[in-house]
Structure 1
Amino acid sequence: MNTSSEPLAYFLTWTTYGTWLPGDARGWVRADRPGVWEECAALAASCRERLTEPPFVLTTDQRRIAESAIREHCEVVNWSVHALNVRSNHIHIVMTAVGKAGDRVMSSLKSYATRGLKSVISNRKKFWTRGGSARVLWDDFAFENAVRYVIEDQDRK
């Protein structure tokens, strides 16, 4: 059990630009309300119309670039990566960044992944959706489940 005021880790998730919009048939989340929301085709269509670039799907090489940039940045700033999975349309990471807020850490990781991707894709402006999920993991149970999900459960969906 964690008795510290510091979380054991963060479970961060963010999606690539335009690939998982509000109203999506797979379910979607809102920053201002808890839970997973059901499909809303009209909302999804409205969001698609407002995209300023085509949706961004990471290729295998781009996934490697993003992962490398994230790992390198974490090493430089002494953050611990416990699990990382860069998918074609989203990224999951379980990591520890002592003294840092989860949303700030996620913003920093997105920035460094973008820098890496810009080295091979110079004409794109948006790689990621705004925000993401920054769950705080306070205990071993939550930590172990998040690591297992990131490492083992992504291909079971």
Structure 2
Amino acid sequence: MPPSMAYFLTWTTHGTWLHGDERGSVDRHNRGVGTPTALPEAERARLERDRAAGPAVLLSDEARAIVERVICRHCEIRGWSLAACNVRTNHVHVVVGQCGEYLPEEVMSQFKAWSTRRLREAGLAGADARVWTEHGSTRWINDEESLGRAVDCVLNRQ
């Protein structure tokens, strides 16, 4: 398959948006394009909280700035085109293009790994603390209209 024009990546901080959450969530049964999110389910959310490895992570203003700098710098180093980035207290949105043969999961993993490293160096995350959820949302963008919508979502609808 040829490389995508861009990727729309979203991931959450650890423990802040669990399966069963009242806002809905994405799981293995509710993740395809056009499928509804998993419905809120109080018991499932409670079980997820009980199983969580460590406390929920909310990013401070300083941590948010570090994560944004890491993403920008990583794109510069890799030669990727950063179309939009928005680091929130409990999630991150990135629209990135020109990633060559890297799959969106690999791009997201690199952003998460380097961000975690820099947060630890700044003393904003413990050596063993989980900062991010295990996966995230990885959408392929294959046309200019979709790219424009994704950038608008990241920059203007948060």
The TM-score, its normalising length taken from structure 2, stands at: 0.91
Determine the structure 1 residue equivalent to 2:157.
153
Determine the structure 2 residue equivalent to 1:104.
106
Determine the structure 2 residue equivalent to 1:53.
54
Letter in 1 for 2:136: G
% of aligned pairs identical? Answer: 38
**How far off its partner does 1:69 sit?**
1.0
Q: Distance in 1 between matches of 2:69 and 2:29?
A: 32
Determine the structure 2 residue equivalent to 1:77.
78
* Runs of 5+ consecutive residues of structure 2 not aligned to the other structure: none
In the alignment, is the contact (CA less than 8 A) between 2:6 and 2:96 conserved in 1? Answer: yes
From the two aligned structures, give the one with the greater strand fraction.
1
Determine the structure 2 residue equivalent to 1:121.
124
Determine the structure 2 residue equivalent to 1:138.
142
The TM-score, its normalising length taken from structure 1, stands at: 0.91
**How far off its partner does 1:5 sit?**
2.6
Count, aligned residues: 151
**How far off its partner does 1:91 sit?**
0.2
Structure 1 pair 51–71 and aligned structure 2 pair: CA distance change class (3 A): same
Q: Distance in 2 between matches of 1:32 and 1:75?
A: 36
Determine the structure 2 residue equivalent to 1:29.
26
Q: Distance in 1 between matches of 2:47 and 2:24?
A: 16
Q: Distance in 2 between matches of 1:5 and 1:49?
A: 42
Determine the structure 2 residue equivalent to 1:42.
43
Question: What SS does the aligned partner of 2:11 have?
Answer: strand
* CA deviation vs aligned residue, 1:36-76 (integer Å, no higher than 9, x gap): 11100000000000112110000111100111111111111
Letter in 2 for 1:109: F
Question: What SS does the aligned partner of 2:26 have?
Answer: strand
Letter in 1 for 2:108: M
* Runs of 5+ consecutive residues of structure 1 not aligned to the other structure: none
Question: What SS does the aligned partner of 1:13 have?
Answer: strand
Which sits farther off after the overlay, 128-137 or 112-121? 112-121
Runs (4+) of structure 1 exceeding 4 A deviation are none
Question: What SS does the aligned partner of 2:157 have?
Answer: helix
Letter in 1 for 2:3: E
1:20 aligns with 2:22: no
Q: Distance in 2 between matches of 1:37 and 1:10?
A: 23
Aligned CA RMSD, in angstroms, stands at 1.4
Instruction: Name which of 4, 7, 15 aligns with 1:7.
Output: 4
* CA deviation vs aligned residue, 1:88-147 (integer Å, no higher than 9, x gap): 000000001122101111111110111111112252520000000110001111110000
Q: Distance in 2 between matches of 1:150 and 1:11?
A: 9
